[in-house]
Amino acid sequence: MIVNLYLNVNFKKGEKVKTCVCIISGGMDSALSAKMAALEGYNIIALHFNYAQRTKSKELSCFRKIVASLAVEKAYEIDLPFFEEIGASALTDTDIIVPTAGIEEGVPVTYVPFRNGIFLSIAAALAEKHSASAMFIGVVEEDSSGYPDCRESFIKHMQKAINLGTKEETHLEIKMPLVSLKKSEIVEKSLALGVPLEDTWSCYKSEEKACGLCDSCRLRLEGFRVAGAIDPLHYESV
């Protein structure tokens, strides 16, 4: 299912409009990335994926709240049910337990095979449709969960492939403004720019109350601790 949400965006007369597609998961990183796109003056096409993840409903709710806090031209909610058939990830296969014993070494079982590659490919199709010049994705390399599709080198290669596989007049830049930041720096920047962190979700395991123990919760909590800030979310365990 694809849901199109239209919102009105007002631009000053004579102002040159530049458009971007923002991939927004409903998490803190993508919310900040979208906010930065808005501050750069982009006309935003917001994009969210429902890919049978455990916290699908919560993430969708957060996406809609984030979109409401921004002046976006259009928002897409795209269902990708095949991720559940592929499985191979604790996020999409309920037979695989979400680890809660501490941050894993190497590529964790919460990695969804080639997720960002698929997301970027779909985002590129939308970007071409809307004559966008950029796509924003909130990947974080240094302080992330060790996912190979969050690496800067991978994103740069995807940009090259996308531009080779689209129309000659299409020239897309994939912007990853957070890629070299630590989670504490993301918290600090989000607070400074007024990102509604209370409307974001990071937990891999639960939709009702964040578990506080999965890799994503641990990274988020540590980010707030180092930043000297209080996380507005409530946790089962901290």
Mean per-residue pLDDT, 134-141: 97
Residue 234 lies in a domain: no
Task: Confirm if 137 and 23 have CB atoms less than 8 A apart.
Answer: yes
Does residue 32 surpass a pLDDT of 60? yes
Domain of 115 in residue numbering reads as 2-227
Q: At 118, which CATH number? A: 3.40.50.620
Residue 233 lies in a domain: no
Q: What is the dihedral of CA 214, 46, 117, 163, to 10 degrees?
A: -150
pLDDT in tens, 92-110: 999 999 999 987 778 999 9
pLDDT in tens, 6-23: 454 444 555 678 999 999
Mean per-residue pLDDT, 67-94: 97
Residue 202 lies in a domain: yes
What is the number of other CB atoms lying within 10 angstroms of the CB of residue 238? 13
Q: In the structure encoding, which two tokens stand for residue 26, read together?
A: 């409903």
Residue 108 lies in a domain: yes
Residue 236 lies in a domain: no
Residue 144 lies in a domain: yes
Q: Taking the chain, what is the end-to-end CA distance rounded to the nearest angstrom?
A: 37
pLDDT in tens, 176-218: 999 999 999 999 999 999 999 999 999 999 999 999 999 999 9
Residue 87 lies in a domain: yes
pLDDT value for 6: 46
Q: Which residue has the tokens 């014993």?
A: 101
This prediction's pTM? 0.93
Domains held by the chain: number: 1
Residue 169 lies in a domain: yes
Q: Which residue has the tokens 């000297």?
A: 228
